[in-house]
Structure 1
Amino acid sequence: MSTLHHGYFTAGLDADPELAAAIRGEESRQADGIELIASENIVSRLVLEAQGSVLTNKTVEGPAYARYYGGAEFADAIEALAIERARRLFGARFANVQPHSGSNANAGVFLGLLKLGDTVLSMNVAAGGHISHGHPATLTGRDYSIIRYGVNRETERLDLDEIRDLAREHAPRMIVAGGSAYFRAMDFAALRAIADEVGAYLMVDMAHFAGLVATGLYPDPVPHAHVVTTTTYKSLRGARGGLVLWNDPALSDRINYGIFPGVQGSVMLHAVAGKAACLGEALRPEFRAYNEAVLANARALAQALGAQNVRIVSGGTDMGLMLVDLTPRGLTGEIVAKALEHAGLAVNKNQIPFDPRPPEAPSGLRLSSNAGTTRGFGTAEFATIAGWIERVMQAPQDAATLAEVKDEVVALCRAFPIYPER
């Protein structure tokens, strides 16, 4: 063997000490800290091994069984398996599992179904919408005419009358539902009726509640929407990536071409294998039990926080995440999020609806029960977490308090280990 390749196929992570130190640091952070960020979860060893497999070496373009490159026999089988599992899990006729992310899935649908400059009616990011639905800083915001709807000021919930009025006024080509910080049940049948009235497509982004949809614990958008997008992590607790579902065969070519070659090139086959793995896990009976626990834990956390003079936006939650308003405590999300991170609790700051404060220092925090439930926490543990959040809020600048909470967090985490043999 050439000396140029000495150790190439045998040396592991220790061959790169700087990289090894950073990765092992992240392993320790995850093992000894509590993840409350709604966009994160903890995958199984099965998903880790599928994504870290030799599929990393294989390049394919185009749909399964119609590739532009040869040597795709097993690549085709893996993608076909992921598609079949996605269709079965969500009861959809068609699925595309190639999107590299949820944002790519959304951009591909926009490109496939719309013309540049078409009008899109979507949820304002300030009210809980997602940036990939037309935020001015994104391609979707640049390339399409975006009209934004929000939530009712009193209920902090979707106002179907407002959405209907805006749709009638602006005649959008597409209406987008779903967001990153909206956590109440949605009436997809009513949204479809509005879309049909004005001749629009209805697209639902269910990234934050796909796991609940898969297990019958949240309203199902698939029978009502023209197209549904999701990520495959978050509530599906799987590989990072995106997924598109639809039922109308007349849309198939347009959606598929919107993804490839529209917004991306070759398939990240190792990620598709990870998606196949997590979709297979989601088809098992225990996945419903997991999602039932996600809901119970989120509601326990919301109730415990509410008892501590922390206002829960809209008064509660219908999924595994919530938005808390720190205004009654005289604090900002930026201050509390940084303090909680020092205490071993990872959260993200977030604007609340009609927030008078800027995104950089908003009035709220977004919290999730997804990852904690994955590692085995129950309602008692989430009540304890609420108590830790309260202690940090009382003294966000006190290093001794943060260190004390951190020690207690580590102790709880070690009672619920992840990847214990690593």
Structure 2
Amino acid sequence: MSALNAESTAFRSALDAVRAVEPRIADAIAKELTDQRESLKLIASENYASPAVLLAMGNWLSDKYAEGTIGRRFYAGCQNVDTVESVAVEHAKALFNAPYAYVQPHSGIDANLVAYWAILADRVEAPALAKVQKRNVNDMTDAEWAELRAAFGNQRMLGMSLDAGGHLTHGFRPNISGKMFDQRSYGVDPATGQIDYAALRTSAQEFKPLVIVGGYSAYPRKVNFRIMREIADEVGATFMVDMAHFAGLVAGKVFTGDFDPIANAHIVTTTTHKSLRGPRGGAVFCQPELSDQVDRGCPMVLGGPLAHVMAAKAVAFAEARRPEFADYAQRIVDNSQALAAGLTSRGATVVSGGTDNHLVLIDVDKYGLTGRQAEQALLDSGIVTNRNSIPQDPNGAWYTSGIRIGTPALTTRGLGTGEMDQIAELMHTVLTSTKAGASKAKFDLATAVSDRVSKQATELLADFPLYPSVDLG
């Protein structure tokens, strides 16, 4: 039986089994494949995992409890989980040239929490650590959080601001990290839209943070992690990098030297999907001196490890170690730069003037739109994006003034720089044809325009089939 037939048979059989119990779920799963095949997926944080990765998640490893670490479980019968986790760690360390890897986190947020608590536990005395374990964090007041931070030595975090491209988990109040740490943000130079390392150094010297966080979710440029490590060392801070968005560019050796977080940071976190093209999940990489604390991620902040997802991570890491993944990673950046150039040539305002990575950030104020209006108009036209804040955003984090787009998913489908220019034209058509409505959410776009662009998007994708080896019949 060919690989094509094997994969089609596997997915058809799985859906038949689901449909026998709850047909609405089977239908929704099948419809999701149809929708993804027919739309231009430009969500910077999304990708398409391989059939092998997807199939590695749907099995009886899901039935196992396996709290603890390899060879030290709190449940019996975990020998196969030990094998799965060991293989995932082996591939992860080799892929990123990392001295230590922890593959249990369920998400990027979980990975960040593991890193934060590992840093704190490494820095503070046992009584302070015990104090937090006795608190119900959901019931704590701001004053109690301040008291707890004092017990830990008034820990402080310096991370990228949200409007400059940072993430909620980098110390912002709606997230637990903003309660754990007294946070200050660094931003970008208003003139260039890029990190001002001199200003970052000055801020670190004034603030004296315990943790400096590098990494981003909406910053379109490379980051010089060597300089950031120098700053951290100067002020005695632990340097942590969240590479969730660009891990695939690190794995594919597009980001090396000063731009490789593994080579420069004390501790690095990531998701395993996005540009890495694996399952939804997370991982932590660290220097050996932090490994004992990282290993305590479960039960400190994690529930039991998901053995079936660790199996899929192992498969994804193995795929990323193949030579063709480096070519894929470079094509992500080539496509991103081509898309930015195509938009710019049509009059769009691209934040920072371009991109060095997998994402492009567009200021849609030039079109008289909010990010929310632009996002929905594009979606109605078969182009899936997400609204995003831009530096000094006047519309805030909900309506926003920006649209974030990325190329990992379409690069997986095989689209190249020529297709990126065509996509830029489709986006230009939608954005210039959309008129703001009576509120920051409402807009007017002629159905004839959205229908025409949707049809053109579908036609463009016809030559680049998604999961060609999977036929659901």
Calculate the TM-score normalised by the size of structure 2. 0.85
**Equivalent of residue 462 in structure 2, options 405, 414, 417:** 414
Distance in 2 separating the partners of 1:412 and 1:342: 17
Residue 224 of structure 1 pairs with residue 261 of structure 2: no
State the one-letter code of the partner of 1:89: L
Structure 1 residue 85, shift from structure 2 partner? 0.6
Q: Is residue 34 of structure 1 aligned with residue 72 of structure 2?
A: no
Q: Deviations over 1:336-380 (max 9, x none)?
A: 110111111100001110111122221110000110000111111
Work out whether 1:151 is the aligned partner of 2:191.
no
- 1:89 CA drift (Å): 0.6
Give the equivalent residue in structure 2 for 1:5.
none
Alpha-carbon offset, residue 412 of structure 1: 2.3
CA distance in 2, matches of 1:90, 1:355: 35
Residue aligning to 2:429: 391
Q: Calculate percent identity across the aligned residue pairs.
A: 42
1:206 alignment counterpart: 243
TM-superposition CA deviations, 1:178-204 (whole Å, max 9, x none) = 110112111111111111111100001
In the alignment, the residues of structure 2 paired with residue 415 and residue 186 of structure 1 have an alpha-carbon distance, to the nearest angstrom, of 35
Q: Tell me which amino acid in the other structure corresponds to 2:164.
A: A
The answer to whether the Cα contact below 8 Å between 1:112 and 1:262 also exists between their aligned partners in 2 is: no
Give the C-alpha shift of residue 229 in structure 1. 0.6
Q: Map of 1:15-164 to 2, 5 A cutoff?
A: 15-114=21-120, 117=149, 118-164=155-201
Q: Secondary structure in 1 aligned to 2:394?
A: coil
Distance in 1 between residues matched to 2:173 and 2:337, nearest whole Å: 34
Partner of 2:293: 254
Is 1:347–2:395 an aligned residue pair?
no
In the other structure, the counterpart of 1:404 is 452
Query: Is the Cα–Cα contact under 8 Å of residues 298 and 320 in structure 1 kept in the other structure?
Result: yes
Q: Aligned AA for 1:49? A: L
CA distance in 1, matches of 2:360, 2:160: 17
The DSSP-based 3-state class of the residue aligned with 1:42 is coil
Gaps of 5+ in 1: 1-7
Structure 1 distance, partners of 2:307, 2:453, is 41
| CA-CA distance at 1:235 after TM superposition | 0.8
SS at match of 2:357: coil
> What is the correspondence of 1:262-273 to structure 2 with a 5 Å cutoff?
262-273=300-311
- Residues of 2 paired with 1:16 and 1:410: CA distance? 30
The code of the aligned residue for 1:107 comes to L
Return the letter of the residue paired with 1:68: F
Partner AA of 2:51 in structure 1: R
Give 1:109 deviation, angstroms. Answer: 0.9
Alignment of 1:357-372 (within 5 A): 357-372=395-410
Q: Give the C-alpha shift of residue 260 in structure 1.
A: 1.2
Name the counterpart of 1:316.
354
Deviation at 1:37, TM superposition (A): 0.5
* Structure 2 unpaired stretches of 5+: 1-13, 125-147, 150-154, 435-444
What residue in structure 1 maps to residue 11 of structure 2? none
Q: Deviations over 1:260-307 (max 9, x none)?
A: 111112001111111101100000000011111111111110000001
In structure 1, C-alpha distance between the alignment counterparts of 2:192 and 2:431, rounded to whole Å? 26
Instruction: Report the alpha carbon displacement of residue 146 of structure 1 after superposing the two structures with TM.
Output: 0.7
**SS where residue 85 of structure 1 aligns?**
helix
Alpha-carbon distance, 1:24 to partner: 1.9
In structure 2, what is the Cα distance between the partners aligned to 1:216 and 1:238?
A: 17
* SS of the residue 1:406 aligns to: helix
Query: What is the Cα deviation at residue 209 of structure 1?
Result: 1.1
Moved more, 216-225 or 281-290: 216-225
Whether contact under 8 Å (1:309, 1:329) holds in the other structure is no
Give, in whole Å, the separation in 1 of the partners of 2:346 and 2:221: 22
CA contact (8 A) 1:308 1:390 kept: yes
Q: Which residue of 2 aligns with 1:305?
A: 343
Task: Judge conservation of contact 1:51–1:271 (CA < 8 Å) in 2.
Answer: yes
RMSD: 1.5
Q: Distance in 2 between matches of 1:386 and 1:70?
A: 55
Q: How far apart, CA to CA, are the structure 1 residues paired with 2:252 and 2:396?
A: 37
Q: Aligned-pair distance for 1:83?
A: 0.4
Write out per-residue CA displacement over residues 214-239 of structure 1, whole angstroms, 9 at most, x where no aligned residue. Answer: 12211211121000111111110111
SS at match of 1:59: coil
How does the TM-score come out when normalised to structure 1?
0.95
For residue 200 of structure 2, give the secondary structure of its aligned residue in structure 1.
Answer: helix
Amino acid corresponding to residue 146 of structure 1 in structure 2:
Q
**Equivalent pair of 2:18/2:26 in contact (CA under 8 Å):** no
The number of equivalent residue pairs is 413
| Paired AA for residue 348 in structure 1 | N
CA-CA distance at 1:382 after TM superposition: 1.1
CA contact (8 A) 1:167 1:194 kept: yes
Given candidates 173, 189, 193, the residue that maps to 2:226 is 189
After superposition, what is the alpha-carbon deviation per residue over 1:137-175, rounded to whole angstroms, capped at 9, x for unaligned?
011101211111111111111111111111111111110
Distance in 1, Cα, partners of 2:57 & 2:172: 31
Report SS of the residue matched to 1:360: helix
1:14 to partner: Cα distance: 4.3
What's the secondary structure of 1:153's corresponding residue? coil
Which range is displaced more, 281-290 or 48-57? 48-57
Q: Is the 8 A contact 1:41 1:371 kept in 2?
A: yes
8 A Cα contact 2:18 2:25, kept in partner:
no
Separation in structure 2 between the aligned mates of residue 145 and residue 294 of structure 1, nearest angstrom: 36
The structure 1 segments of at least 4 consecutive aligned residues displaced by more than 6 Å after TM superposition are none
